[in-house]
Amino acid sequence: MTGVMISAWSALSAYGHGRTAFADGVRGGVPVPMTGTKDDWASAQARVVPDFDVVEQLGRKGTGSMDRTSALAVATLRALQRDEHGSVAPTPRTGVVLGTTSGSTRTQFEFTRDSLTRRRPYFVNPAQMPFALMNAAAAQCAMWHGLTGPNTTVAAGRNSAAAVLRYAARLLRTGRADGVFAGAAEEHSGARELLEHGGTLGEGCVLFFLQTADTGNRAALAEVVASDTRFHDGSPRHALVESLRHVVSETDEVWGLALSAAGSELSEVEDDATGEVLGQRVGRVVRPGQLIGDTGAVSGAFGLAALLAHAGVDATARGRLAVVTSVDRDGTAGAVVLRLVGSQARGER
């Protein structure tokens, strides 16, 4: 089976803009201070991307009604194409696969409110309508950056990383694309606060550039060995145990493990499940959610990025396995297994 390789990545997170900001922050292990946020729907403390204004980042053209989720994705993809370790140049067959929970909750709330409160139900802002759809961010990435390959949105919530990587790998292995920008985006808003209960929310976007080993022309950082998602009604722990047993053998030693959950409830599920399956076979455990907040659909992608950040300064990671787990309250769970490649040890600059 043709190997699928991660050759570049970038992120917008509460630590700042770009790959290096996140890598330095997560390796430092200091939680990001919370910032007061307020909109029409709620007022709360959250860990948000600093100094991120849609118009300031992307300009006025085409951003009048753009939602924050789309802007985060477009800006992250721009940063990834200008990767500090060498630019990532897309081809006409480069695609986008983006994970989400439901798109921009704030835009959906606002559009629904306007349809009920304006002078007539149909007196809404038509320019806002495209951004109320969950596939807006992936579509904007393609339009802003001229990507003409497959364009897919995967609504898998906190298990988006596993679902997105599996989908992207299928596109590459079946020859539907020769490169894929794959990741997830999630904005913070008062509307999202109303839907999420407990814990401190965060936001951000992570994108990885994937190619197959035989078509890639960049040094690889890691190989995607396996990805799996499961559902079990009422028992996220059971679902995660089964997912881990599917992707990790009883003899595998794991260099690094990323636990994606930010809140105590889901963290306990991950701790119990990984303890049962992996036991003492794990060398390093990272918990980015405790540093940057509950980032929803991006939590697994931030876990993967955190492992790559640590592997970048640890020569012992070469050739070894890393595992990312994710779990959601609805009984879904997932796991991703990577094999870290030699060039990873050169470090972040």
Average of per-residue pLDDT across 185-201? 90
pLDDT tens digits, 237-260 = 999 999 999 999 988 899 999 999
Q: Does domain 4-212 have CATH number 3.40.47.10?
A: yes
Structural domain spans, the chain = 4-212, 225-341
Same fold, 4-212 and 225-341: yes
Q: What was the pLDDT predicted at 181?
A: 98
pLDDT tens digits, 167-183 = 999 999 999 999 999 99
pLDDT tens digits, 5-36 = 999 999 999 999 999 999 999 999 999 999 98
Architecture per CATH, domain 225-341, reads as 3-Layer(aba) Sandwich (3.40)
**Secondary structure of the chain in HEC code, one letter for each residue:** CCCEEEEEEEEEECCEECHHHHHHHHHHCCCCCCEEEECCCCEEEEECCCCCCHHHHHCCCCCCCCCHHHHHHHHHHHHHHCCCCCCCCCCCCEEEEEEECCCCHHHHHHHHHHHHHCCCCCCCCHHHHHHHCCCHHHHHHHHHHCCCCCEEEEECHHHHHHHHHHHHHHHHHCCCCCEEEEEEEECCCHHHHHHCCCCCEECEEEEEEEEECCCCCCCCCEEEEEEEEEECCCCHHHHHHHHHHHHCCCCCCEEEEEECCCCHHHHHHHHHHHHHHHCCCEEEEECCHHHHCECHHHHHHHHHHHHHHHHCCCHHHCCCEEEEEEECCCCEEEEEEEEECHHHHHCCC
Q: What was the pLDDT predicted at 345?
A: 41
Q: What was the pLDDT predicted at 349?
A: 37
pLDDT tens digits, 297-346 = 999 999 999 999 999 999 999 999 999 999 998 889 999 999 998 554 44
